[in-house]
Structure 1
Amino acid sequence: MPRIVVDYNKCTGLGMCEAEAPDLFEVQDDGSLKVLNDTPGSDELAAAQAAVDACPTEALTLVED
């Protein structure tokens, strides 16, 4: 099952991931990113991939464990 990995050194909190997958990501009031679920189910994989693809800083990846 894929897992979402965030490189917090690259993340700028723009919220593109939250726009693509609001059930998986939330940008906090201070601009930091909170991953709500780092192991998306099969029904959330398309949204997770869209969030990874939408990230302008390439801070998100999906990795197989």
Structure 2
Amino acid sequence: MNGLKELLKHEEEKLQAIKFVVDKRLKNVPDGALRITSTRKSQIQYMHCTEQDKNGQFIKKTKSWHLN
């Protein structure tokens, strides 16, 4: 029984660490939604859509949207 409690405690700590990282990343997310489209040449385009701009703004490959 002690081994099970230790295992559950360890798993709880891992999940809390994951939750902390996810919450931190979600604070930096821009409002709106991501729309993914493909062109005639089978290239993928990413558009940042908001309530005011339903068509979206093109996201260049060089623009960094990484969540730190």
TM-score range, shorter chain: under 0.3
RCO higher in 1 or 2 (8 Å CA, sep ≥ 6)?
Answer: 1
Structure 1 or 2: larger strand share? 1
The structure with the largest alpha-carbon Rg is 2
Structure 1 or 2: larger helix share? 2
Give the TM-score normalised by the residue count of structure 2: 0.22
